[in-house]
A and B are shown apart, each in its own frame.
Chain A
Amino acid sequence: MAKYLIVGASAAGIAAVEAIRKVDPVGTITVITEEACAHYSRPMISDLVSGKADLQKMKCKAEGFWKENNAEARLDKKVVSLNLSDKTVTLEDGEKVNYEKLLLATGGKPFVPKMEGQEKEGVFTFTNISDAQRLAAKIDALNAKSAVVIGAGLIGISVTEALIKRGIKVTVVELQEKILSLLLDAKASDIVEAVIRKAGVNFATGQSVQKIIGKPENDGAVGGVILTKGNQVPCDLVIVAIGVIPRTELVAGTAVKLNRGIIVDNFMQTSAPDVYASGDVAEAYDFILNQNRLLPLWPLAVLEGRIAGCNMAGAKTSYEGGTNMSSLKYFGIPIVSIGLANPKDDPTIEVIVKQDIENNVYKKLVLKNNMIVGITLVNCIDRAGILFNLMKSQVNVKRFKQNLLRDDFGWAFLPVTLQRKMSVVQ
């Protein structure tokens, strides 16, 4: 019997443990994860493949985390079913665990479309540490020379960089015409694509993989792919990085309401009493779109997990929301993208752009009724957080918007009232 039961020990689950302990120092906490390794940084798995990080570096909490928080961690245990009326979950080995409050922080799983040949040796997904470990081991075992990455989003670009660092030739296949299309507009995407091409990456945009073929000497091992336009790309490895879908299996067929992810209110509570959900599995509030939706991002999972933990422990706390926000470090061209990158035509929308193409610098703000609703910064992201804060706090920027994209932009260009509020100056 656990007073608080958490399924999943990544960003949301871990943040919930800490939040519960802030409110309730004694109630029993049990965290169950199917992974053998808990509280590691998932975004760092590409550094594991490139050799830049090891397991020790990837741990985002100290060794004593469970003890300090007086929580029981049950690693390598898979929860297979949920019974809402008994308030129990059942593990794979048949064991039942009761709860008073349950948090589903089960995360997402990679989306893999049906492709002929996808069962071949050498096809990988890339979302957790075991994916990364298996990929790294395969690269060594095969002495792999070339790879095809399917998907030019955040994960696809991160794994591409890791492979390039390992000396592997990479072709990225992307169904959209532009890379990073969920984060960037066409112009920014072109700048970034050119930089990545210079690093030796090939792109095949506007198409997908129709078939994975075997090696001539071993049909069971990946030897190449055939693209939808018919051309063939030889490779030793295929990495599928199209996106993640919420792991909602546990609540299927229960009273917990589902859309694409688990539907939660602003307290991270699901439609079932005493059941909460956070992180990639949940559809939480987006303050720019003013609606709930899937936003599978680490920092938001932490915030959501924290809100769930507070509410589970009885401290009513409301989630202020997040939005699509990513910071990318890959290929030496830092990028920040927050909120709307490609706004729809709307008379209340204003777009301000500043660019320095020679230096691959591109900055764009999307304003709606003089409030920031979109930030894109390419190769010049210093002090991006000041803009993000203006966005989040819905500050009207009408009087100083001409300053926002200055190279030396900072707090000195903001009104004194704001400076004082934030104790920037005395």
Chain B
Amino acid sequence: MHKRRGTSRVDAHLRTLTWKNEGLKMKKIIAKQEACMGCGLCEVYCTTQHSKSKDIIKAYNSEYPKPIARIRREVNKPVSFAIQCRHCEDAPCVTACLSGAMTKDSKTGEVTHNKDKCMGCWTCVMVCPYGALIMDKEGKVAAKCDLCQGLAEPACVANCPNQALVFKEVKP
């Protein structure tokens, strides 16, 4: 009874989230929960990819501000999977952003974050249903998955030892 009510409300919520569905298809990163071992390498490679040096040792030991992972491994044994920005069709972080730092690219569908515009108010953290906005506490700005622009495949996907992350085209 209760569960039914809960999920039907989620349906309603999802419908409202897609108010401007333009049929845009984009590649998104999706986790395969049954394949994830919870090793955390996705976080390591994400951190390295978002460091200045792109060097794993320097990224972890000597860079300032400290680069941070935009993907997060969740573990509730025996379940584990990794989660990051879903680039929502009608992204709550974009509508809620107080500064205009968070925008939806109408061509690629990517939700992008401009850290130079970010005021670090954490409103995006408050509204993201995926918990995918990361607080860069040193930089005092939000950080999020940028799908590793420029790489053929995002670093987390390319380096997952068990192919628990897939990068594929999905309908919004």
Contact = CB atoms under 8 A, between A and B. Distances in A.
B86 A396 contact: no
A385 B99 contact: no
Contacts of A425: 30-33, 81
B5 interface: yes
B127 interface: yes
Interface of A: 15, 22, 41, 43-44, 47, 52-53, 57-61, 298-299, 302-303, 306, 310, 317, 320, 325, 327-329, 334, 336, 338, 370, 381-386, 388-389, 392-396, 398, 408, 410-413, 415, 417-419, 421-426
A290 to B, nearest CB: 15
Contacts of A59: 100
Bin chain B's interface residue count: 35 or more
B121 A57 contact: no
A385 B121 contact: no
B16 to A, nearest CB: 6
A334 B133 contact: no
Given A389-B13, A411-B74, A57 B126 contact: no
B131 A382 contact: yes
B28 to A, nearest CB: 8
Interface stretch (B58-66, B90-98, B146-154): B90-98
Contact of A410 (B11, B72, B96, B123): B72
Interface of B: 2-3, 5-7, 9-14, 16, 19-20, 30-33, 72, 74-76, 79-81, 83, 86, 92, 95-100, 116-117, 119-131, 133, 135, 140, 166, 170
Nearest to A15: B95
Main secondary structure of the interface of B (DSSP, over half): mixed
B129 A396 contact: no
Nearest to B79: A412
A426 B83 CA distance: 11
A386 B16 contact: no
Q: Which 10 A-B pairs have the closest CB atoms?
A: A60-B100, A383-B131, A389-B129, A412-B74, A385-B128, A299-B96, A412-B76, A396-B2, A395-B6, A425-B33
A393 B99 contact: no
Contacts of B75: 408, 412
14 contacts: A41-B98, A43-B99, A60-B97, A298-B96, A327-B121, A328-B122, A381-B122, A385-B125, A394-B5, A395-B7, A398-B2, A412-B80, A417-B3, A421-B14
